[in-house]
Amino acid sequence: MPDTKKFIENLSGAGKCIGVLTSGGDAQGMNAAVRAVVRMGIYVGAKVYFIHEGYQGMVDGGDNIKEASWESVSSMLQVGGTVIGSARCKDFRTHEGRLRAALNLVQRGITNLCVIGGDGSLTGANLFREEWSGLLDELVQSGEISEEASQIHSALHIVGMVGSIDNDFCGTDMTIGTDSALHRIIEVVDAIMTTAQSHQRTFVLEVMGRHCGYLALVSALACGADWVLIPEMPPKDGWEEQMCYKLSESRLRGSRLNIIIVAEGATDRHGNPISSNAVKELVVRCLGFDTRVTILGHVQRGGTPSAFDRILASRMGVEAVLALLEASPGTPACVVSLCGNQAVRVPLMECVQMTQEVQKAMDEKRFEEAVRLRGRSFENNLNTYKLLSHRKIDSELPHSSFNVAVLNVGAPAAGMNAAVRSAVRVGITEGHTMFAVSDGFEGFYKGQIKEIKWGDVGGWTGQGGSLLGTKRTLPAKHIDKIAEQMRIHNINALLVIGGFEAYLGLMELQAARSKHAELCVPMVMVPATVSNNIPGSDLSIGADTALNAITDTCDRIKQSASGTKRRVFIIETMGGYCGYLATVGGLAAGADAAYIYEEPFDIRELQSNVEHLTEKMKTSIQRGLVLRNENCSENYTTDFIYQLYNEEGKGVFDCRKNVLGHMQQGGAPSPFDRNFGTKIAAKAMQWISKKLKEFYREGRVFANTEDSACLLGMRRRALVFQPVIQLKDETDFVHRIPKEQWWLRLRPLMKILAKYKTSYDVSDSGQLEHIVRLRAKDISAI
């Protein structure tokens, strides 16, 4: 069978010219996308041009269209907004304006455009493409270009990337800038919560989102807001009384603050706007609570991009260049989008039409359909929020008579508390009695188990570390005592939130079922570890927060290195033997190299890295950043690499080293980890409820099948329950890592963007997926 693999080495951009522009509202991460397009374009031999000030620059021409160099995009990665400028352009809306733009492109030989913007910008680009041959004919007739030039530049290829903080574009799970905007919102909410608590205040926060409630909804989910108002799902008539009842009820249960989040485009069922001031006046009038309004405004667009946005934009930028290289005259304009953790290409106009359908459904008051059209990710966020925020009165709750225990195992990871809160509240809503186990399996065998109520987990989402307490102790040695505690407390199901020890622990509990009937209950594990080294899951709770900690520190270190010039920093990251943090952190921070266990290296590679940095010091970028995973090599330690670089770089650059250590496990969880932890734990609890019903026989729960001890992991595009026993073959138990890891495919990207020649398998790229198929595949996505 012929080898169908496709490699970057076989794709050439020689003779091609690519124009890159940012248009519409700015979004953090746009610069990372521009940097990736420029460097990937130059890497494959194409010429890349900056088009400054969006479409206005394309129309005006002149110095607005400049050739980009490798160095010209240095230090852009960590800068918010867009360095090449963006402008709303009236001229481009006119035929005359587009004619001038076409002339400016043809004069420079640009027939490939990479447009980073919202749906308006991308629709404009598509119209331009459709008119292209007609515009060239006009230019030939007026004598401004030759017939020959018209033939050479006969087709215009367009690839879009969506840069929008609102996440309002259908066809992609996340748009560039959304995660960073959530970071800004959550930073503000966390700060406001401390002052609100001091004065027993209610805060009404207004966030951006004129037509899309994504930011409001996800930030409400991430901070455990009491009420949220979004345009896609206006509240039912009589919501005012309901909201006030909810607020007063939470105060009666001992809460000292209330948070209400309002999207700027929120309306009631009849299309009347609901402003943040109107909500404040309502609370003051009905409840007399001390209430304040905070309008976040353009703060949400500002600041440095998050690690997620940098990686997303870098991956999309590289994919966009590949799409342009492979485009033929008949290829429709496409958008590079994200589905699960995969980059895919979707026809641009299908996405635009679907996005317009949402607005149409909202205008026609078909709100359920508007939510459905936004996609499964949005729908799941909304359903999870409803599940967690509206506590039913005890008489309304189903009563299951089942006891479910939840515990944290392994090292602390930011987002664990959000997962515990979610599990406890969903469990109570499902009618179970929830028990919290302190200090992992150690606390379990010592009997540190107590009932945990709805109000006990209030305010937990934003807390770092593990409030339940967590230990690395494994259960095997204490199995008799654990079984006894299960019997004493009549535990009918277990939810374990943790890292590799949790995975091993679940296997040990399952193996002991033959000796202890008490362990024959449904058990599920949710992965939570900064190392992201759990088989069966592409991502784990805590890894995103750790990546942001690494990226923030690297930004500061790069700044220091830029000031002193000719300096290389060696930075050691955590992760055990798993190189996820070093690799993905390296991609987000713009590192020159990242040493990991999974990709063995020798002295020759170290030497070539030193030579590469020596060459770099001759350019205008006189600094270097090298990441090293803590266990990447027994002998090439951080000290060894530091000393080697110091010696070999003598007279050219000097070296500094930095061990990041436990700061990677600490800090408030990122919005992604809060959200991921909340949704994955809610799904785990719903699975437990289903299994409890399934295994309830003759007055007791008895579960002894393989599929009653599962790991819930994110696989490519969906959350999947996998029996732990079946994951054994996928695990390297000696090094505590999965045998296959998806993120290794990102390593060539990091090398290319750092100017290394490398082999890059692009076989996964190139399939144009249709948005309807995406929806079908998205069925169980988070």
For the cut 70, the answer to whether the pLDDT of residue 771 exceeds it is: no
Q: Report how far residue 381's alpha carbon sits from residue 541's, in angstroms, rounded to the nearest whole number.
A: 17
Is residue 355 a contact partner of residue 778, using CB atoms and an 8 Å limit?
no
pTM of the model: 0.93
Backbone angles phi, psi at 560, to 5 degrees: -65, -45
Residue 342 sits at φ, ψ, to 5 deg, of: -110, 140
- For the record, the structure tokens of 352 come out as 């635009």
pLDDT digits (tens, 9 = 90+) for 612-662: 999 999 888 888 999 999 999 999 999 999 999 999 999 999 999 999 988
**DSSP secondary structure of 394-419:** GGGS-----EEEEEEESS--TTHHHH
Say how many C-beta atoms besides its own lie within 10 A of residue 521's C-beta: 28
Mean pLDDT of 266-278: 94
Mean pLDDT value across the chain: 91
Q: Which of 60, 166, 173, 555 is catalytic?
A: 166
What is the dihedral sign for C-alpha 12, 18, 23, 27?
positive
pLDDT at 71 over 60: yes
88-92-350 Cα angle (round to 5)? 85
Average pLDDT (497-504) is 97
Distance CA 562, CA 241 (A): 57
Query: CB of 33 within 8 A of CB of 176?
Result: yes
Please name the residues in contact with 302: beta carbons below 8 A apart, sequence gap of 6 or more: 28, 80, 81, 184
Percent of the chain beyond pLDDT 90?
Answer: 76
Q: In what order do the strands lie in the sheet with 593-595?
A: 593-595, 623-629, 567-573, 654-659
**Per-residue pLDDT at 456:** 92
Alpha-carbon distance of 581 to 584, in angstroms, equals 5
pLDDT at position 388 is 86
CB 598 within 8 A of CB 744: yes
pLDDT digits (tens, 9 = 90+) for 324-366: 998 888 888 999 988 777 788 999 989 888 888 999 999 999 9
Write down the residue that tokens 């250590």 correspond to: 661
Q: Is 3 a catalytic residue?
A: no
Mean pLDDT of 705-726: 93
The total number of residues written for the chain in this structure:
782
Give residue 590's region: left, alpha or beta (phi > 0; psi -120 to 50). left
| pLDDT digits 0-9 by tens, 406-447 | 999 999 999 999 999 999 999 999 999 999 999 999 999 999
pLDDT band of residue 563 (cuts 50, 70, 90) is confident
CA dihedral over 191, 667, 719, 160, signed as positive or negative: positive
Give the pair of three-digit tokens for residue 190.
Answer: 């966390």
So what's the pLDDT on residue 12? 80
Take residue 48 and report the two structure tokens written for it.
């890349």
* pLDDT at position 2: 40
Contacts of 538 (CB under 8 A, 6+ apart): 340, 341, 713, 714, 715, 716, 742, 743
pLDDT at 196: 82
- pLDDT, tens digit (0-9, with 9 covering 90-100), for 183-194: 999 999 999 888
Q: What is the pLDDT of residues 291-329, one digit of tens each?
A: 999 999 999 998 999 999 999 999 999 999 999 998 888
In this prediction, residues 249-264 reach a mean pLDDT of 89
pLDDT over 80 at 256, yes or no? yes
